[in-house]
Structure 1
Amino acid sequence: MIKEQYSNEQLPNELSSVFTELQVSKHLRQAGIRKSFGFSCTYLFQLVFCLIFHQKNWFNLFISKKNDCYPGKDTVYRFLYHSKFAWRKFLLHFSEATIQKVSILTSKNRPKVLIIDDSTFDRNRSKNVELLARCFDHASLKMRFYKGFRMFILGWSDGHTFMPIDFSLLSSKTSTINGMNEKIEKRCSGYKRSTEALQSAPNQIPAMIDRALSNGIEASYVLMDTWFTQQPLIQAIVEQGLDVIGMVKNAKQRYNVNGQRLSLKQLYRSATPLQGKKGLRHTDERTLGGLFYDLCDEVNELDWAVALQQLIELLQDVLKKTNKQTQQLLNNQLSQWVAGLPSYIRAYLPNLVCES
């Protein structure tokens, strides 16, 4: 874990470089997440962020033998529950900057979409959480009730990468266990989030999409499931310049197609069928790549460690056919490269550099 001093240096190398590359501290400051004294917000954020990799929560860390190395639990809880910290703004700016880096590596012609979905956020052991509600889990096989919230998420994807860009914890006006905190300042982010928690999900979607688009996040479609694919919401999204792809319920509504009013089953039968897997087998042009993988079963079983060893051994065989000066130069370069690798990779590469 991270101790108080030199917290940036005590992050794992992989995380330290990621925090620097993605400018986490900058986005925290932009969201108003800063402190005037005590532990810095960046240090506390890194501390909480690393807990998941140690499979611990803050309580387990606090009662451990190393609790003297870390801040008190009140410091961390105040950081997490501060009503003036705009965590949603932090996520939006952080995701937008990360998407810009990802977009450079992908084709401009690749479709980009916004995805809307919700999931359960259990707080079954909680008693005094603000706006705690009794919610129904419609996605579970048990069809159960639970104490907590609905986690409503807006995400971005290009087909390979998914980035959450906005979220909202939804409570319920009719099933609320605890009410809203009346002492909270009405101008802060916490009060705004509390009032939004009592709104329905479809009412929040247009505002969430507008925040994403206004911050430079590009998308052509919005994907959603049957819970959100309703005519008023579709119209609101289309007015924002996006098309909607969603699952629909088999209800009584009719769809106007070329002047005809069709039910969902009739609409499905009238749609042009796509080419299936069987048709692709007979029409797709065969490639040597597919034939190669069909004939070479060992390719599927080759892990990265064995592959790396074989590549370096192949390089050494080629070096033996060169002069001594070239061998010495490339061996030195290879030694420096191996020395710079993480220890868990170096462990797979014993005695790789041969002596000239």
Structure 2
Amino acid sequence: MQKVTRLTDKDRPKVLIIDDSAYDRNRSKKVELLARCFDHASLKMRFYKGFRMLTLGWSDGHTFLPIDFPCSVRKSLKLIAFLKISKNALAAINVERIRFSQPLNRLPDMIRRALANEVEASYVLMDSWFTLPPLVKAIVKQGLDVIGMVKKTKQRYLVNGKPVSLKQLYQLAQPVESKKGILRSIDTVMKNGTPVKIVFIQNRNKRSE
């Protein structure tokens, strides 16, 4: 990790990336802690037999390094996550008996461990599956900014003290004409008090959205 950091320009942004990958074991029958999982990233939105591999990675735009990866299971489990911190040392992070829970509950601790082991990053990148108010607030408290997509959910934002939906927020946002692909943007606050900037962009795959 330190070798890669030395090769990276100091002015180049360094980020942590959150990803939730499917570890498919559909043909297995006698694998410890095998579970039926839902693949939210698949276009088929399918169920599969296997595990969910929650991964925290580091990137400078050219290199990607996975640095923490607990596996989501349905029973209590003692996991060991390994993080290489120097040439001659391998730190074993003992995650004591992680109980089955939503991956969102584990991410703040994963990021905290990375920062404690001198992993440099200014941003955390994630998709819409993870961009929820409790997680965003927990990451911001650790001194990192969050960049992620947002789903159309029942989530509300505060504008002049009034809660509004994402659709209503779009109507209140100011149009942006100078930047290609960006339609509107607005500074607002999540209901949990976390300040955010919402940027509305054109869907490249579906021009009507």
Same fold (TM over 0.5): yes
In the alignment, structure 1 residue 219 sits paired with structure 2 residue 124: no
Query: What is the aligned partner in structure 1 of residue 186 from structure 2?
Result: none
In the alignment, structure 1 residue 101 sits paired with structure 2 residue 3: no
Match among 77, 101, 110 for residue 199 of structure 1: 101
User: Structure 2: which amino acid aligns with 1:152?
Assistant: L
Classify the secondary structure of the residue corresponding to 2:120: coil
> Is 1:121–1:151's contact at 8 Å kept on the other side of the alignment?
yes
> Is 1:169–1:197's contact at 8 Å kept on the other side of the alignment?
no
CA separation of 1:217 and 1:193: change in aligned 2, threshold 3 A: closer
In the alignment, structure 1 residue 237 sits paired with structure 2 residue 139: yes
Q: How does 1:103-182 map to 2 (within 5 A)?
A: 103=8, 106=9, 108-172=10-74
Spell out structure 1 runs of 4+ moving beyond 4 A.
none
Query: What is the aligned partner in structure 2 of residue 68 from structure 1?
Result: none
CA separation of 1:274 and 1:262: change in aligned 2, threshold 3 A: farther
Separation in structure 2 between the aligned mates of residue 199 and residue 226 of structure 1, nearest angstrom: 19
Q: Percent identity?
A: 61
Separation in structure 2 between the aligned mates of residue 233 and residue 196 of structure 1, nearest angstrom: 18
- TM-score norm. by structure 2 comes to 0.69
> Is 1:170–1:197's contact at 8 Å kept on the other side of the alignment?
no
User: Structure 1: which amino acid aligns with 2:132?
Assistant: Q
Separation in structure 1 between the aligned mates of residue 175 and residue 69 of structure 2, nearest angstrom: 37
> Is 1:115–1:223's contact at 8 Å kept on the other side of the alignment?
yes
Separation in structure 1 between the aligned mates of residue 31 and residue 96 of structure 2, nearest angstrom: 12
After TM superposition, give the deviation of residue 233 of structure 1 in Å: 1.1
Classify the secondary structure of the residue corresponding to 2:97: helix
CA separation of 1:193 and 1:211: change in aligned 2, threshold 3 A: closer
After TM superposition, give the deviation of residue 116 of structure 1 in Å: 0.6
After TM superposition, give the deviation of residue 110 of structure 1 in Å: 2.3
Equivalent residue pairs, number:
169
Separation in structure 2 between the aligned mates of residue 257 and residue 169 of structure 1, nearest angstrom: 39
CA separation of 1:138 and 1:160: change in aligned 2, threshold 3 A: same
Q: How does 1:16-55 map to 2 (within 5 A)?
A: none
Separation in structure 1 between the aligned mates of residue 118 and residue 174 of structure 2, nearest angstrom: 35
Match among 167, 173, 176 for residue 273 of structure 1: 176
After TM superposition, give the deviation of residue 99 of structure 1 in Å: 3.1
Deviations 1:7-30 (Å, cap 9, x if unpaired)?
xxxxxxxxxxxxxxxxxxxxxxxx
> Which protein has greater RCO, CA pairs closer than 8 Å, 6+ apart?
2
Classify the secondary structure of the residue corresponding to 1:118: strand
- Between Structure 1 and Structure 2, whose CA radius of gyration is higher? 1
Query: What is the aligned partner in structure 2 of residue 84 from structure 1?
Result: none
CA separation of 1:165 and 1:275: change in aligned 2, threshold 3 A: farther
User: Structure 2: which amino acid aligns with 1:163?
Assistant: L
Deviations 1:245-303 (Å, cap 9, x if unpaired)?
1222212222124545332123334055263449xxxxxxxxxxxxxxxxxxxxxxxxx
> Is 1:122–1:148's contact at 8 Å kept on the other side of the alignment?
yes
More strand by share: 2
After TM superposition, give the deviation of residue 153 of structure 1 in Å: 0.6
Deviations 1:214-260 (Å, cap 9, x if unpaired)?
11111111111122111111111111111111222212222124545
